[in-house]
């Protein structure tokens, strides 16, 4: 945490405000461009494809892969981009813009490095920012566990339960991706998890230590009280 504070003091002025607003907005713009009859395949143009970067010098792909919409369904796209913005805005308000930027760009960098490693061992393939965006919700559910969402506009569900479902979904998707040899998907999910753990493992360790200390204090208290109660019986 101290190291993060030092980084923020030094580089915080370069952080982008409303980062997920821009990401969500460009996601929506890509979707709108893709619905034109003669529009090119936007996923193929923007995805993180190491082969195209190396062989065709399509350098933009190291950035544009996070602008591919999570869905190309006209009904769900507005919900999708709003959700990305809403989760990111809440994280930015809680963390500050620098830490949100660091979380997202660290995930991007990890995805880029992983994509090239997978390419070196398994050849062609492509990665998107879908799982990185899903890891934003893992962070949100950890920081705001009691926040409620209205599922289908009628069923209130707390963020902590949706976060568990999100994590389980990612685990299942990673296992299935490995089974079918979809290594780019599997590695993309792994990077999303590692990025999340990089930022929250310290909090989990402190929580475990605190629970152990509370249990230890409780045992010590009862050990001290038990002889006193036994003496009173006599």
- How many domains does one find in the chain? 1
**What is the per-residue pLDDT for 230?**
56
Distance CA 137, CA 216 (A): 34
- Render pLDDT for 120-130 as a digit per residue (tens, 0 to 9): 998 878 999 99
Neighbouring CB atoms inside 10 A of 45's CB total: 18
| DSSP one-letter string for 52-116 | HHHHH--TTHHHHGGGS-S---TTTHHHHHHHHHHHHHHHHHHH-HHHHHHHHHHHHHHHHHHHH
**What is the per-residue pLDDT for 204?**
61
Percentage above 70 pLDDT, the chain: 86
Range of the domain at 200: 2-233
Compute the average pLDDT of residues 144-159: 87
> Does the pLDDT at position 73 exceed 70?
yes
- Render pLDDT for 169-224 as a digit per residue (tens, 0 to 9): 999 999 999 999 899 999 999 999 999 999 998 766 765 666 676 667 667 766 66
**What is the per-residue pLDDT for 209?**
67
- Render pLDDT for 109-123 as a digit per residue (tens, 0 to 9): 999 999 999 999 988
Residue listed under structure tokens 């506009």:
153
């Amino acid at each position: 945490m101290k190291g993060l504070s030092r980084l923020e003091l030094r580089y915080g002025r370069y952080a982008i405000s409303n980062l997920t607003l821009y990401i969500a907005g460009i996601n929506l713009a890509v979707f709108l461009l893709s619905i034109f009859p003669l529009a090119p395949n936007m996923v193929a143009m923007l995805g993180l494809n190491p082969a195209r970067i190396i062989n065709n010098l399509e350098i933009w792909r190291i950035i544009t892969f996070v602008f591919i919409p999570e869905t190309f369904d006209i009904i769900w796209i507005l919900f999708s981009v709003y959700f990305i913005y809403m989760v990111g805005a809440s994280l930015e308000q809680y963390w500050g813009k620098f830490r949100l930027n660091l979380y997202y760009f660290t995930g991007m960098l990890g995805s880029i490095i992983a994509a090239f490693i997978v390419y070196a061992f398994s050849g062609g393939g492509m990665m998107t920012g879908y799982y990185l965006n899903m890891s934003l919700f893992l962070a949100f559910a950890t920081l705001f566990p009691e926040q409620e969402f209205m599922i289908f506009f009628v069923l209130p569900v707390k963020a902590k339960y949706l976060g568990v479902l999100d994590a389980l979904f990612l685990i299942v998707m990673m296992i299935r991706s490995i089974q079918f040899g979809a290594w780019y998907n599997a590695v993309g999910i792994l990077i999303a998890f590692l990025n999340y753990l990089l930022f929250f493992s310290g909090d989990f360790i402190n929580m475990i230590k605190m629970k152990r200390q509370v249990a230890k204090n409780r045992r010590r208290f009862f050990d001290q009280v038990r002889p006193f109660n036994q003496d009173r019986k006599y």
